[in-house]
Amino acid sequence: MNFKYLLPLVCIFFFQVNVKAQAKVLGECSLQFEVSQQKNNEWVPFGQKKVWVKGSQCKTSLITPLLTQTLIFNTQESLAIVLKLMGDGKFLQEIPYPPTGLPTLVSMKEMPTDSALFILGYPCKKMQLTWSDGVLYEILYTSEVIPSVNTFELAFKEVPGLVLSYTIINKDGLFIKYTASQIDLSPITLNQFMINKLEYQIL
């Protein structure tokens, strides 16, 4: 090998290592998102979404006035559990995870911003994801931290950081926005992911 090319290659290698080292991996964290829906050009509160990540485990709960739906999965396992609370009804279903027949990612591109964007003190970058079923995701994420499970939305698999805000726009023009209002880096107990199946009707 010609040694005049060695130094630039070494510099590039250490630059890449340094960039990765700057992003802190969160092995445990919990998030709360405020959910709103756009109606008549106004954002109307719709509910909350809570996310818990511990190692390879993840739990999400979407809480609305009519329904609470929880997804619990482990990235090292092929099945997930869905819990639904509707009035006095409590239902449990096991599903393959990730599900089959998902839409494919058509494009993923960074979007320029006019000013610095911060959510919960984290600087954010803007990205747009376009899917084969016509759904569009507009997201804000920070590259300063990366959760050990970033697929609390499957769409975030390729995003290089923690998503702190996202708007889902379907092909019919329905806008749903999720904005992080809390982040907690405290340890999470294992019972957060445990379920007493006797309390639920199995679907």
Contact between 153 and 163 under an 8 Å Cβ cutoff? The reply is yes
CA 150, 154, 157, 161 torsion-angle sign: negative
Partners of residue 33 on adjacent β-strands: 49, 180
Q: Please say if the pLDDT value at position 89 is more than 80.
A: yes
> What pLDDT shows up at residue 22?
67
Q: Please say if the pLDDT value at position 198 is more than 80.
A: yes
Q: Please say if the pLDDT value at position 18 is more than 60.
A: no
Alpha carbon distance 191, 82 (integer Å): 16
Which amino acid is located at 185 in the chain?
Answer: L
pTM of the model as a whole: 0.86
Number of helices followed by number of strands (H, E) in the chain: 1, 15
SS3 at position 191: helix
Which of the four pLDDT bands, split at 50, 70 and 90, describes residue 113? confident
> What domains are there in the chain, each with its CATH number?
24-202 (2.50.20.10)
Q: Which of 171, 172, 148 is nearest to 161 (CA)?
A: 148
Q: What is the pLDDT of residues 149-161, one digit of tens each?
A: 999 999 999 999 9
> What pLDDT shows up at residue 16?
39
> What pLDDT shows up at residue 10?
38
Task: Rank 12-16, 50-54, 112-116 by mean pLDDT and report only the highest.
Answer: 50-54
